[in-house]
Amino acid sequence: MTNTALITGSTSGIGKAFADKLAQEKIDLILVSRDAAKLDNQSKELTCKYGIQVSVIAIDLEKPNAANKVFEAVRELGLSIQLLINNAGFNEYGSFLKTNLEKEKEMISLHVIYTTEMMKLFLPDMVNNGYGRILNLGSTGSIIPCPNDAVYAATKAYILHVSKGINAELKGTGVSITTLCPGSTKTEFAVKAGMENTLLFKFFVMTPEAVAKIGYKALVKGKTSVITGVYNQLMVLSSKIIPPIIIHSITKKMLSSE
């Protein structure tokens, strides 16, 4: 049986890199994004290049009931999902006193509620079939609190902890959940968030292809979590050794655009 993977936020950045990587592995795809035209072009390109089956679902995942709509769309396609990559996300960056509350609420909804709903909907079939892999996109912010990016990091901390907890429940079922924790990555993410001029995105920036390669390997192996890159691994390790007041000061400087 050919595996089928569903990837959200597939038309750019890490999501696009995952789509390319899985297509190279001859895995059929269901691509989910809000831009129907980009999805159509991506589908045609991957089908032509790799000879796989590619289906698309054009939907704004920030809207209410989005997860249920995706689930129903998959059912209508008559497909079964073995790999689920919850990649879609965005960042409302800046001082908490100045950030937009409505955007933060949308971010919480997408990262926290939507991700939880997707697992709730797709896990039962995976468990019944005795096999499944889910990858949820976390961040180094899942582990290190981030001044000037506090709400974003908190949503990613939720993703890491809920994924670890559910993964422990799934032991012995043939199903696992992996949290991918990248640091700064060369995508449109930083530009859209207005944080491309921060120190964080000046040094040790990884390519989305490198991040996706690490994530895919961890996903297939059923690893609980993976931090991408030696620099990010050292940074996270340091955060567990260095006093929090110093870590917070360093993080605040790294995330300052001034």
Q: Name the active-site residue from 114, 152, 158, 216.
A: 152
Taking the C-alpha atoms of residue 167 and residue 132, their distance in angstroms, rounded to an integer, is 11
Return all residues near 38 (Cβ < 8 A) that are at least 6 apart.
11, 12
DSSP H/E element including 107 = helix 101-108
Taking the C-alpha atoms of residue 240 and residue 84, their distance in angstroms, rounded to an integer, is 31
Instruction: Judge whether residue 196 has pLDDT over 90.
Output: no
In terms of Cβ atoms closer than 10 Å to its own Cβ (0-12, 13-18, 19+), residue 57 is buried
**DSSP symbol at 61:** T
pLDDT of residue 245: 80
pLDDT per position as a tens digit, 46-97: 999 999 999 999 999 988 899 999 999 999 999 999 999 999 999 999 999 9
Q: Which residues pair with 206 in a beta bridge?
A: 185
- CA 126, distance to chain mean position in Å, is 19
More confident residue, 201 or 90: 90
pLDDT of residue 251: 77
> Into which CATH architecture does domain 4-254 fall?
3-Layer(aba) Sandwich (3.40)
pLDDT of residue 1: 45
Taking the C-alpha atoms of residue 157 and residue 29, their distance in angstroms, rounded to an integer, is 28
Q: What is the mean pLDDT of residues 225-229?
A: 94
Instruction: Judge whether residue 6 has pLDDT over 60.
Output: yes
Taking the C-alpha atoms of residue 222 and residue 131, their distance in angstroms, rounded to an integer, is 11
Query: Across the chain, what does the average pLDDT equal?
Result: 92
Q: Residue 188's pLDDT band (boundaries 50, 70, 90)? A: confident
- Domain ranges across the chain: 4-254
pLDDT of residue 91: 93
Active-site residue 114, yes or no? no
Contact 200, 254 (CB under 8 A): yes
Q: Residue 213's pLDDT band (boundaries 50, 70, 90)? A: very high
Q: Residue 201's pLDDT band (boundaries 50, 70, 90)? A: low
Number of residues written out for the chain: 258
pLDDT of residue 231: 78
More confident residue, 92 or 205: 92
Residue 225 corresponds to which tokens in the numbers above?
């979590």
pTM of the model: 0.90
Taking the C-alpha atoms of residue 87 and residue 101, their distance in angstroms, rounded to an integer, is 22
- What's the N-to-C CA distance of the chain in angstroms? 53
